[in-house]
Amino acid sequence: MKNFAGKIAFITGGASGAGLGQAKVFSKAGMKVAIADVRQDALDKAVSEIISYSGVDSDDVLSIKLDLTDRAAYTQAADLVEDVFGGPPHLLIQTAGVNSFGPIEASTFDDFDWVVGVCFNAVVNGLLIFVPRMIKAYGNKEEFHVATTSSMGAFMAGSTTGPYSAAKAAVNNLMYSYAEALKPYGAGATVLCPGNINSNIGNAEKYRPENLRNTGYHVSEGTMKTLRAIHATGIDPVELGEILKEGIETGRVIVLPDHNTGEQRAAQLRGQNATIEDYCLTAPEREEKAAARMAEMMKNFAPPAGGDGKDAPPPPPMWGVPEGGEAFGQARRDLDWVDENKKAK
C-alpha cells in the first residue's frame, strides 16, 4: 500500500504507546483514523494528541472504547467505522497488547487467558471481522493492507515470557498466512516485531480485568516500576510508526526495527535459526557448533575495532532494577511446587 491520503485506518491500542504513535503517523499521512482501546481516559487524551500532532479536523479521528476480546462489541465497532467514515478500513493495524512475566511453571489459566486473549485471540477477532469487509469493498479496486504489532519475543521464548512469546509467535505465523492469502486481492500484510518501545506497557497489570486477576506471578508496584524504567529506554512510538509506514509502503511482510544495528539483530536471528537446525545433529556436534556460534556472535558485541575496551560505550542501563523497583519475572511466594530461587523474596 502506497497511498494513504483520504483512506481509512483502524488502529487497536491506539490510545497509548506504539498504537498512538501509529495513529499520529497515519493521521498526518492524511488518513481518517479510528482508534480502539479499552481505556476511555487514555482515548480522550489520545484524540487531542493526534489532532494537535497531525493538524487534522476532529471529524477525521474516531475513538472507540472497546475490549477487543469481546467479539460482539468488536463487530459493532466495525459497523460504527463504516457508518462514520463511509466504509471499512483500508488499513487495519492491530497493536493493542499486554504482557506479564513469571516462571512458565507458575502460570495460571488467568495469565494465559489475559495475555494470549489480547495478544493473539483479539488479533484473530480483528482479522475475521474486518478482512471479509475489506475484500468486498476494496479487493482489486483499491489498495488495502493488514498489519499487526508483534514483538522480537516472537522469535525467542524465554522461561519467564511463556504466554507472551507463544502469542507473538502465533501472530507472526498468522500474518505470514495473510500475506500470501491477500495477494490475489491486490493487498498485503505486515508484522512489526519491535525490540523495546517507550510505552506504557509496564503499567498493563493495573488494568488486568477483574475476572483474570489470579496470577501465578509476583506483581507489585516495584515490578511495574522496573518495567517502566526498561521501556523508557525504548524506541519512540512515532519513530516506530514511521518505520511501520515505510515497511507497508515497500511491501515488507516482516519489519524488524531496533536500536541495535541491523547486523547485530541479523546475527541474533541467524543464531536462533541455527539452534533449531542443529537438532538434526548428534549432541556432541551440536555443542561444538553452539560454542562456535556463540563466539562468532559475541564478536558483534565486542568493543570498537582497535580499542582495548576503554572507548567502548557503556551498556544501556536497561536491565537494572531502579531505586524503589523490584525484579520482575518471579513467581508468587505461596506456590509450593516452584523452585525457591524463582520466587519473589
Site string for ligand NAI, 135-174 (x = CB under 6 A): --------------x-x-----------------------
User: Given 164, 178, 207, 279, which residue is catalytic?
Assistant: 164
Among 145, 231, 265, 332, binds ligand NAI (CB under 6 A): 231
Nearer to ligand NAI, 124 or 137 (CB): 124
74 included as an active-site residue: no
Taking the complex as a whole, how short is the minimal distance between the CB of residue 329 and ligand NAI, in angstroms? 15
Answer for the pair 181, 198: CB distance below 8 angstroms, yes or no.
no
Among 64, 68, 77, 81, binds ligand NAI (CB under 6 A): 68
The DSSP H or E segment spanning 12 is strand 8-12
Site string for ligand NAI, 117-136 (x = CB under 6 A): -xx-----------------
Q: Which is it for strands 8-12 and 91-94: parallel, antiparallel or unpaired?
A: parallel
Q: Nearest 5°: phi and psi at 27?
A: -70, -40
Query: Is there binding between residue 69 and ligand NAI (CB under 6 A)?
Result: yes
Taking the complex as a whole, how short is the minimal distance between the CB of residue 118 and ligand NAI, in angstroms? 4
Within the chain, where are the H helices?
17-28, 40-54, 71-85, 109-116, 122-138, 162-181, 221-231, 237-249, 262-277, 283-299
Nearer to ligand NAI, 138 or 217 (CB): 217
Query: Is there binding between residue 265 and ligand NAI (CB under 6 A)?
Result: no
49-57's contacts with Cβ under 8 Å and 24+ in sequence apart are 49/20, 49/24, 50/20, 50/23, 50/24, 53/24, 53/27, 53/28, 53/238, 54/24, 54/27, 54/28, 55/28, 56/27, 56/28
d(CA 21, CA 53): 10
C-beta atoms surrounding 315 within 10 Å:
9
Query: Is there binding between residue 97 and ligand NAI (CB under 6 A)?
Result: yes
List contacts with ligand NAI (CB under 6 A).
Answer: 13, 15-19, 37-39, 42, 66-69, 95-99, 118-119, 149, 151, 194, 196-197, 199-201, 204, 231, 234
Active site residues: 164
